[in-house]
């Protein structure tokens, strides 16, 4: 319980301290009764008495701890709320350390949230996540308490340092912390609603740890739009602003249908400016203030503008992929769940690979064991078996749907419909749009000139060709996505594309790198189609050879994926691999 109170104390004290700049530096000037005023306000906010001496001692300890971080004497801290204070004192090293700790906490929360979503259906795995989170918090609090309160280690501290961690901590302090965590977790579990089958429901873990850092997205969206009408508020202390904040707060309250104070608007804009400065300095690579992209441009923060733009592009790209899959599989109720499962499987593999690359620079024993396995036929590993099973299921579906002829011969399906089915796109739509777009040169470049109703005319022609309605908004969105995707190809951010029909568009925009990439993809597709056509003609007369083509294709895809995984994750062969390669050369 005292740890929760201390955290609340520091959060409130950090916010109130910003109104007393004379107390930021020790012996800065005549402070008179500033400490007394601060203690009085702090007591009102916390609803408990806080003495002037307590405030003096806490701020003295905070300054001393920030100095330790600046000198590199410590790498952990519980004073994350004083990040702005470290920046104000000019402690760049301490600022960087606190920023990294905040990012690690945010990353851990994201992992917990992903695990919670992934294991929502299984009641057995939820308690394990809960236990891991409690154990992590116990160890973290134990370490930070030792660094904060024990500058010179006492006998009890030395005894705790001698105990190596080989299970849950057994000291009295750690036991008390564990008991507090257990009681709080049980109270949350009791408050959570139970389902009909009596399964235990995992509580929202984000409400346990730093829940005050959540951002009201609707609030910032509306505030960002309204702020554009008040240019005097864009720069801090730019000039006489009079009652500009009050007017902005009034309009914001009308839009949100809830009261928003002038002080709230001041604090939010101050935090936004501070966060944009952090992005500009490279102290952070993540942000939740995407609506303020125009504000970063106005302040001249080029690095922050680039960071926010990349985040927005990634979000829009993911949303576009999901929307395309939903449109494509809207008519078939059976294929929608398979696409969902494949997308989840892809995301799980991607996250696992990125975590391995990030946290395990040197290969573990399991990695070395996988490196020792040489391919000597169809692989028997669990991963390859899973890949083969997925390929077999996808390959069987087109065979079952294909009509059988009178002689009961198996018809060879189009192999291109078996591989990468999740990357299908409305090919006819883009082929027709690409041809029609050549008649509207004013639409080739964004904001090239007065386009009037060019988009409307193009949408009408497209509707006539496709025999289905296509809105003007749809055409605008598609062309915007095409231009953005070609820019990604030009910058080298992507090596794959499904917009091959827009090869002429890339040449027109002068994107040489994108043109070369699309040309290579078209050549590879034509080569594969030619090979498939030759195999189909060669084995058209023999009914028994069609299944062999199917099996060969599955085996080829399995080998390709396994080899690609080995080449990607295990660049350096092990000693046993080298010995086996030498033995093979001797046999030859």
* Rounded CA separation 82/534 (Å): 70
pLDDT at 52: 86
Q: Is residue 45 over pLDDT 70? A: yes
Cβ partners under 8 Å of residue 183, min gap 6? none
Residue 218's Cβ-side half-sphere holds a number of Cα atoms within 13 Å equal to: 6
Task: List, in sequence order, the alpha helices (H) in 241-334.
Answer: 244-256, 262-281, 293-299, 302-328
Region 506-534: mean pLDDT is 85
- Would the pTM of this model clear 0.75, i.e. be above it? no
**pLDDT band at residue 407 using 50, 70 and 90 as cut-offs:** very low
Region 109-124: mean pLDDT is 64
Q: Among 235, 275, 264, which Cα is nearest to 84's? A: 275
Q: Among 575, 454, 438, 582, which Cα is nearest to 503's? A: 438
Task: For residue 569, give the 3-state DSSP assignment.
Answer: helix
DSSP at 243: T
pLDDT at 128: 52
Is the pLDDT higher at 503 or at 368?
Answer: 503
- Cα-based distances in Å from 555 to 249, 536, 539, 559: 65, 18, 18, 6
Percent of the chain surpassing pLDDT 70: 53
pLDDT at 291: 86
Task: List, in sequence order, the alpha helices (H) in 18-154.
Answer: 34-46, 52-71, 83-89, 92-118, 126-149
Region 299-315: mean pLDDT is 88
Q: Among 143, 1, 134, 150, which Cα is nearest to 78's? A: 143
Residue 529 token pair: 């189609």
* Rounded CA separation 433/429 (Å): 6
Q: Among 77, 58, 71, 76, which Cα is nearest to 12's? A: 58
Q: Is residue 90 over pLDDT 60? A: yes
Is the pLDDT higher at 506 or at 557?
Answer: 506
* Helix%, strand%, coil% for the chain, nearest 5: 70, 0, 30
Q: Are 374 and 581 in contact, with CB atoms under 8 Å apart? A: no
Lowest-pLDDT choice from 89-98, 375-384, 525-534, 572-581: 375-384
Domain ranges of the chain: 2-151+170-190, 215-323, 421-535
Which span out of 59-68, 185-194, 318-327, 373-382 was modeled with the highest average pLDDT?
59-68
Q: Is residue 244 over pLDDT 70? A: yes
Q: Is residue 542 over pLDDT 70? A: no
């Amino acid at each position: 319980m005292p740890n929760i109170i201390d955290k609340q104390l520091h959060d409130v004290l950090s916010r109130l301290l910003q109104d007393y700049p004379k107390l930021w530096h020790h012996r800065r000037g005549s402070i008179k009764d500033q400490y007394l005023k601060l203690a009085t306000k702090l007591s009102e906010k916390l609803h408990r008495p806080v003495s002037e001496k307590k405030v003096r001692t806490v701020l003295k300890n905070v300054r001393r701890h920030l100095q330790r971080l600046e000198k590199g004497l410590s790498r952990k801290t519980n004073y994350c709320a004083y990040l702005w204070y470290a920046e104000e004192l000019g402690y760049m090293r301490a600022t960087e350390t606190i920023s990294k700790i905040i990012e690690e906490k945010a990353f851990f929360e994201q992992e917990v949230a992903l695990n919670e979503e992934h294991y929502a259906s299984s009641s057995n795995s939820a308690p394990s996540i809960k236990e891991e989170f409690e154990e992590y918090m116990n160890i973290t609090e134990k370490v930070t308490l030792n660094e904060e309160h024990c500058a010179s280690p006492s006998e009890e501290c030395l005894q705790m340092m001698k105990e190596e961690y080989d299970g849950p901590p057994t000291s009295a302090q750690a036991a008390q912390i564990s008991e507090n965590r257990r009681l709080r977790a049980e109270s949350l579990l009791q408050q959570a609603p139970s389902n009909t089958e009596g399964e235990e429901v995992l509580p929202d873990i984000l409400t346990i740890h730093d829940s005050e850092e959540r951002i009201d997205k609707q609030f910032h969206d509306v505030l960002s739009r309204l702020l554009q009408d008040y240019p005097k508020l864009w720069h801090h202390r730019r000039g006489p602003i009079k009652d500009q904040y009050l007017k902005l707060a009034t309009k914001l309250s009308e839009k949100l249908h809830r009261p928003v104070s002038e002080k709230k608007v001041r604090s939010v804009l101050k935090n936004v400016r501070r966060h944009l400065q952090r992005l500009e300095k490279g102290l952070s690579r993540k942000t939740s203030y995407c609506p303020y992209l125009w504000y970063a441009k106005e302040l001249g923060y080029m690095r922050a503008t680039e960071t926010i733009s990349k985040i927005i592009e990634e979000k829009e790209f993911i949303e576009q992929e999901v929307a395309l899959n939903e449109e494509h599989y809207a008519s078939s109720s059976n294929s929608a769940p398979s696409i969902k499962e494949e997308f989840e499987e892809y995301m799980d593999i991607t996250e696992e690979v990125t975590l391995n690359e990030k946290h395990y620079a040197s290969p573990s024993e399991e990695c070395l064991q996988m490196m020792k396995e040489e391919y000597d036929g169809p692989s028997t590993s669990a991963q390859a078996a899973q890949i083969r099973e997925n390929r077999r299921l996808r390959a069987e579906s087109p065979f079952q749907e294909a009509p059988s002829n009178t002689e009961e011969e198996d018809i060879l399906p189009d192999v291109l419909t078996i591989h990468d089915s999740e990357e299908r796109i409305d090919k006819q739509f883009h082929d027709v749009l690409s041809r029609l777009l050549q008649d509207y040169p004013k639409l080739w470049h964004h904001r090239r000139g007065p386009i009037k109703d060019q988009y409307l005319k193009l949408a009408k022609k497209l509707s006539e060709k496709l025999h289905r309605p296509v809105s003007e908004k749809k055409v605008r969105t598609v062309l915007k996505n095409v231009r953005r995707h070609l820019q990604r190809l030009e910058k080298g951010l992507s090596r794959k594309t499904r917009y091959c029909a827009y090869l002429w568009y890339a040449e027109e925009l002068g994107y040489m790198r994108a043109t070369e990439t699309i040309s290579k993809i078209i050549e590879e597709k034509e080569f594969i189609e030619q090979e498939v056509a030759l195999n189909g003609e060669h084995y058209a007369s023999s009914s028994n050879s069609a299944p062999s083509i199917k099996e060969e294709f599955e085996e080829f895809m399995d080998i390709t994926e396994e080899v690609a995984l080995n080449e990607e994750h295990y660049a350096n062969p092990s000693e046993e691999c080298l010995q086996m390669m030498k033995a093979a050369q001797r046999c030859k």
